[in-house]
Structures are given as structure tokens and as C-alpha cells.
Amino acid sequence: MIIDVLENANLYHEVNNRFNKAFNFLRNIDLSRLNPGKYEIEGTSIYAIVDNYFTRPKEEGLWEAHRRYIDIQFVVKNKEQIGYANLGQMQNYTEYDEEKDILFFKGTGSYFIIPAGTFVILTPQDVHMPGVAIEKPEAIKKIVLKILID
């Protein structure tokens, strides 16, 4: 897991050859005007999901991970907590859904506050619980970039 601000995104281009295009999407579009939905950047290799939602209590959150895609989660408006645990620390809760590229887990982890302008890079070993309220539910705008792993 990597947490940083968009201004430092160029430090991570070497991690994956698709990161440059993904971060350029965030840099070159008025993110405040993007409507919720899916935006193709490079077909199914790189795409963005724009979402508006209210954060929720930890007790309502779900631990998840992906196998085929890396997530770059970027908070556009307000802030949220995100839970993190290494895959080896968690117990499978569901079978892997190949179509949705998601697997849910049981376990415990650490929580971090992610303010607007900050991104989190989550790879397949990074089990995460996004959308967690800090003190009370808060309206969030977030973009999740999905980067296909070769």
C-alpha cells in the first residue's frame, strides 16, 4: 500500500507501466465536474470509476481485495478512513468473484485517514476497507482507477 498526494504521483510511474496514464487522467480533468460512472482510459486495461457516497461506520464496512487489478483510490472531496491489512493476516469470507475481480475477508487491520487530494495504491496483497467514517458519515467524492496487472 502506498499513500501520497497527487503532486508526488510521478514518483510511482516505475511501479507499473500504466500508472502514468492513470495519473494523467487525474491531473488533466476537472475532477469536481465528473459525474458518477465508469470512464475508459485505455479500454479494460485502465479505467476510472467515479462515485459519490456517504462514509459508513467500521462495523458496516467490508474487507476486500482484488487479483487482476491494482486500485488507485483518489479522494476528490472531503475525507474518509480506509482500513488496511496484509492478505496473509486475513481469512477468506467469500469465494473469489472473477467477473467482478473481488474477494471478501474477515479479520482486523489498521485505519488511515485519506483527505481530499490524496491517493492510495492497493495491490492484490493489500486487503482494504474503503469508505469508513471518521467520526460521523460524510459525503465523499472518490475516483477509483483500476489498473490491469499483466
**Tens-level pLDDT at each residue, the chain (150 residues):** 999 999 999 999 999 999 999 999 999 999 999 999 999 999 999 999 999 999 999 999 999 999 999 999 999 999 999 999 999 999 999 999 999 999 999 999 999 999 999 999 999 999 999 999 999 999 999 999 999 998
Q: Give the pLDDT confidence score for residue 150 in this predicted structure.
A: 83
Q: Give the pLDDT confidence score for residue 48 in this predicted structure.
A: 98
Superfamily per CATH, domain 2-148 = YhcH/YjgK/YiaL (2.60.120.370)
CA 130 to CA 20: how far, in whole Å? 23
CA 135 to CA 123: how far, in whole Å? 27
Place of cell 485517514: 113
Quote the cell numbers at residue 25.
487522467
Q: Give the pLDDT confidence score for residue 69 in this predicted structure.
A: 98
Quote the cell numbers at residue 94.
467469500
CA 143 to CA 13: how far, in whole Å? 18
